[in-house]
Chains A and B, each alone.
Chain A
Amino acid sequence: MAGGQERILKRRIQSVRATMKITHAMELIAASQIHRAQGRIRAARPYIDNMTEMMLDVARDAGGSAGKLLDSGQEIRRAGVLVVVADRGLCGAYNYSVLRAAERLLAAGEARGREHRVITVGRKARKAQGYFQFRHRRLDHSFVAMTDRPTYADASRVAPLLLNPFIAGDLDGIYAVSTRYKSAAIQQVEVRRVLPLPVVQVAEGLEVVLGTVLSQSGKSPASGTARAATALAGGAGTVVSQEGIVSDLSASGHSGGLQGYTEFEPESAALLAALLPRYAEAVVFGTLLEASASEHTARQRAMAAATENAEEFVKSLSRVMNRARQDAITTEIMEIAGGAEALRQAGVGARED
């Protein structure tokens, strides 16, 4: 009978409306989280920038004893890889783009006979339910419940897992694959080499230029990987960069490098040993903060799109429902009119008899 179609449509509209309420709420929550995450990045940036500068000063002075910290042009045989994704989904392509970039780095590394030690942050990369399980990747350690609001304590739990093997000589390179928060509008997946420091011994300013050129011309040892990955990633708009630290340096506002004679207290080798763990923590902390802000941004965007789609869906379903109702009414009128006509004709016939 009439109305069946209409009832089904009404129920669907209600269900879409309910979903829309949820996506809209998630959008608002994410928006407020973005604001907080941005504030935390702003608050942490002076520390991270200054730490990076200090690290470069000391590593440069320590020279020989800094050894493996500075890029010596040696092939990286055993690399530590830090992959940062979210704990939860519903944030568009956020998780997938990071994991894909990481997978490429690992595949390219393996093709050159490199061993990897993989540390992940975020449930979506984890063994039991994540992407890497599907790809049968071995994860050396995975952290969860960090990316929502990363703290410095989180960073100091993650950093040693990569740094200690590096100091012990079990690793000779450390990479980070994560989403960088460039601005409210731009977040990019980046593969960065954290160690060895990609630094060339030249005057400040020129260094930045040189770093970039090196990565383009493929003279630095690992940039073969980078280029391969860039070529693959190009289509998806993913940026793969080797020179994260150098570009960080250029971004930091203050004073630049030290000139001439610099005192070190204690002497630079000992200082380096003390500084390195803090530096690694700062880098990981920055990475986590930016990933967190990017995640919330991605989620807000995805949920805004979902809400919009739901609105449209409701509109088109309402249209279909209205037509169905109209059809049902028309049919009913026709039936009534037809029935009345039949009765009238029957009445006329009876009278004529």
Chain B
Amino acid sequence: MPALFNVQLVTPERVLFDGDADTVILRTAEGDLAFLAGHTPLVGTVQPGVVRIHHLGADWLESAEPERLVTRVAVHGGFVRTARNHTVILAKVAELASEIDVDRARRALDAAEAALAGDGGAPSSSRGAVPGPSGAEGVTGAGGAAAVASEDDPAAARLRALVRLEAAGGEL
């Protein structure tokens, strides 16, 4: 059995993953990084991408050959900190692969690419006007991820959609 260490993947809204894992693979500013048990203390950024957490299935106590699972999480940028066999990934926005709506992500991707193509070469000045001042959020608050996506520029929205699709395993 591989050595395990504690992994938490946390957003401001909830804890997405909290448990023992044997490997965590994520993308830092300087390249992909795999964490195993006993990793040297590290603090770093996590680039938008898929975080893969390799862990054992729920049957790990009973079964001699426990199921090996990979939990994939779409992380839209964040930070990682590991020390003393305890790894924490903090992300402002992240979703479990199992919870991603592939159709919606694909639609968002199309919309973002259309917006990018529509902008052409001209740097748009209207973009900055999107995030409204206080009081307006009651209207936009309908769908969490959708609202976040619509808040900034299409390039970021495109990246988010791509990360979601990759995490969900949908072909591009």
Chains A and B come from one and the same complex: yes
Q: Which residues of A contact B (CB under 8 A)?
A: 40, 43-44, 46-48, 50-51, 53-54, 57-58, 142-146, 151-155, 157, 254-255, 258-266, 268, 271, 274-275, 278, 281-282, 285
Contact status A264-B12, CB under 8 Å:
no
Whether the Cβ atoms of A154 and B137 lie closer than 8 Å is yes
**Chain B residue with the shortest CB-CB distance to A152:** B12
A53 to B88, CA, bound (A): 11
Q: Specify the chain A residue showing the minimal Cβ separation from B131.
A: A157
Please give me the residue from chain B that is nearest to A153 by CB atom: B137
The answer to whether B74 has its CB under 8 Å from any CB of chain A is no
A278 x B41 contact (CB < 8 A):
no
* Listed A/B pairs (18) with beta-carbon separation below 8 Å: A48-B12, A50-B81, A50-B88, A50-B90, A51-B79, A57-B81, A58-B43, A152-B12, A153-B137, A153-B147, A254-B86, A255-B83, A260-B41, A262-B83, A263-B41, A263-B43, A264-B43, A265-B44
Chain B contact residue count (CB 8 A cutoff): 34
Task: Decide: B12 and A144 in contact? CB cutoff 8 A.
Answer: no
**A48 contact set on B, CB distance < 8 A:** 12
Determine if B43 and A258 form an interchain contact, defined as CB atoms under 8 angstroms apart: yes
CA distance A40 to B13 in the complex (A): 7
Q: How far is the CB of B36 from chain A (nearest CB, A)?
A: 15
Taking CB atoms, residues of chain B closer than 8 Å to A144 are 134-135
A136 to B32, CA, bound (A): 55
Q: Which residue of B lies closest to A143 (CB)?
A: B134
Tell which of B11, B14, B29, B90 touches A265, judged by Cβ atoms closer than 8 Å. B29
Whether B148 sits at the interface, judged by CB under 8 Å, is yes
Complex contact A47–B40 (CB within 8 A): no
Is B84 interfacial (CB-CB < 8 Å)?
yes
Q: Which residue of B lies closest to A277 (CB)?
A: B92
Looking at the assembled complex, report how far the CB atom of B50 sits from the nearest CB atom of chain A, in whole angstroms: 18
CB neighbours of B28 from chain A (8 A): 265
Beyond A151-B141, A153-B137, 16 extra complex contacts between A and B, CB < 8 Å = A43-B15, A44-B13, A50-B81, A51-B79, A54-B90, A146-B134, A152-B12, A153-B147, A154-B137, A261-B41, A263-B42, A263-B44, A265-B30, A271-B43, A278-B79, A282-B12
Residues from chain B with a CB closer than 8 A to the CB of A281 are 92
Nearest-neighbour CB distance to chain B for A82, whole angstroms, equals: 14
Given contacts A265-B45, A266-B30, A266-B44, contact A153 B83 (CB under 8 A): no
* B75-115 interface bits toward A, Cβ cutoff 8 Å, 1 = contact, 0 = none: 00001010110101010100000000000000000000000
- Answer yes or no: B71 CB below 8 A from chain A CBs: no
A152 to B40, CA, bound (A): 32
Give bound CA distance, A189 to B45, whole Å. Answer: 35
Which of chain A's residues has its CB closest to B141's CB?
Answer: A151
Contact partner of A259 (CB less than 8 A), chosen from B8, B41, B138, B141, is: B41
How many angstroms between the C-alpha atoms of A155 and B12 in the bound complex?
A: 11
Q: Verify if B10 is at the interface (C-beta below 8 Å from A).
A: yes
Is the pair A266, B29 in contact by a Cβ cutoff of 8 Å? Answer: yes
Residues from chain A with Cβ under 8 Å of B45 in the complex: 265-266, 271, 274
- Whether the Cβ atoms of B11 and A145 lie closer than 8 Å is no
A47 engages B79 (CB within 8 Å)? no
Name the distance in Å between A238's Cβ and chain B's nearest Cβ.
28
CB distance from A94 to the nearest CB of B (A): 21
Query: Which B residues lie within 8 Å of A151 (CB)?
Result: 137, 141
- Does A278 contact B8, Cβ atoms closer than 8 Å? no
B137 and A254 contacting across the interface, CB-CB below 8 Å? no
Asked if A54 and B42 make an inter-chain contact with CB atoms under 8 angstroms apart, the answer reads: no
Assembly CA distance A47 to B81 (angstroms): 12
